[in-house]
Copies of this chain bind each other. A is one copy, B any other.
């Protein structure tokens, strides 16, 4: 393993112990690096996911600190360019210290409580999760349903959310949502009021609850359930991070139900993730004259969502899915950039900028994709630095 750049072992130990107490010496650098990477790679960065899976987080972090990729594979160096400006040892340390200060834990893939559904995201799975609250609540996600919907909910939608959350609590399901105003908040509140378990996933760091009007609600969720984030403290939610947060909600739950949504609601993005993952997808019908039911009706018409009326129907979504044989063809579609770079490669060696021009991508993007292909043998770098098609 390469040395972790800029940190002595005592510093790593202090940082890591603040967010989880059970890390053995031989895992210390890796756990630190996974936490650090949550502040370096954007959520859902499949290149980061593939590299970290191939090299380990610590060795990959060492490359950012000036090291050489494992196995001396210098052809992969350029792919690290996207992360190099985002790596700052001080920030990585501060991420751990702030988390420890707020009582936030670091959850890792393979942990007993890790939501196993997240593994279906493959290279797009989160590298780690920051958790405020009870890890047992996170474990309960294995029997959870995501209730999502419009911020601008109507009284109808909030009533459905409240009834559904209460009914799911009665049936032993935990309720996963995004803590937004409207439907999300109503679902969390009703789950809490019914003595059920509820978990929220935020799009930014857990040091600053968003939306601010739900600070009290989020404190209650953290006190009685759990609040999760893929990004560490100090990182603000962005549009991209909201969309990626939605993929976590879809993947960590057993089914996603949209309760009320405008025709372009963000909750349709969560629904899209659920559909892409082959998760059961439900939509609650409403008046055809209600703009906040338009999204649900689109899901019923265009996404083959199941019409669900109440908690019993929602529980049935999950029951039906578990008795079904998984369908083929649910693998996410291949990365279009990868397809284009493959098309741009030939049997003869081409320079990086030639491949990029043929693929219609920037040289940076192209270098990332080539590095990813090189990992799997799909592209080969020649001694003169050019690229050709692999096996």
Contacts and interface: CB of A to CB of B under 8 A. Distances in A.
B301 A306 contact: yes
Interface in A285-322: 285-289, 293, 296-297, 300-301, 306-307, 309-310, 313
Contacts of A352: none
A310 B288 CA distance: 8
Copies in the complex: 2
A156 interface: yes
A191 interface: no
Contact of A288 (B285, B288, B297, B306): B285
Given A156-B289, A286-B287, 20 more contacts: A156-B287, A160-B288, A284-B288, A285-B285, A285-B286, A285-B288, A285-B293, A285-B296, A285-B297, A285-B300, A285-B307, A286-B286, A286-B288, A288-B309, A297-B309, A300-B307, A301-B306, A301-B307, A301-B313, A307-B307
Interface string A265-301: 0000000000000000000111111000100110011
A297 B307 contact: yes
A307 B296 CA distance: 10
12 contacts: A159-B289, A160-B288, A285-B285, A285-B286, A285-B297, A285-B307, A286-B287, A286-B288, A288-B309, A300-B300, A300-B307, A301-B306
Interface in A153-167: 156, 159-160
- For chain A, the bracket of interface size reads 10 to 19
Contacts of A284: 288
A123 B296 CA distance: 42
Interface string A98-109: 000000000000
Contacts of A289: 156, 159
A301 B285 CA distance: 11
Interface string A107-139: 000000000000000000000000000000000
A309 B309 CA distance: 17
A94 B185 CA distance: 70
Contacts of A300: 285, 300, 307
Contacts of A285: 285-288, 293, 296-297, 300, 307
Nearest to A296: B285
Nearest to A160: B288
Contacts of A286: 285-288
A267 to B, nearest CB: 17
Nearest to A284: B288
Nearest to A305: B307
Contacts of A309: 288, 297
Question: 4 smallest A-B Cβ distances: which pairs?
Answer: A285-B285, A300-B307, A288-B309, A301-B307
A304 to B, nearest CB: 10
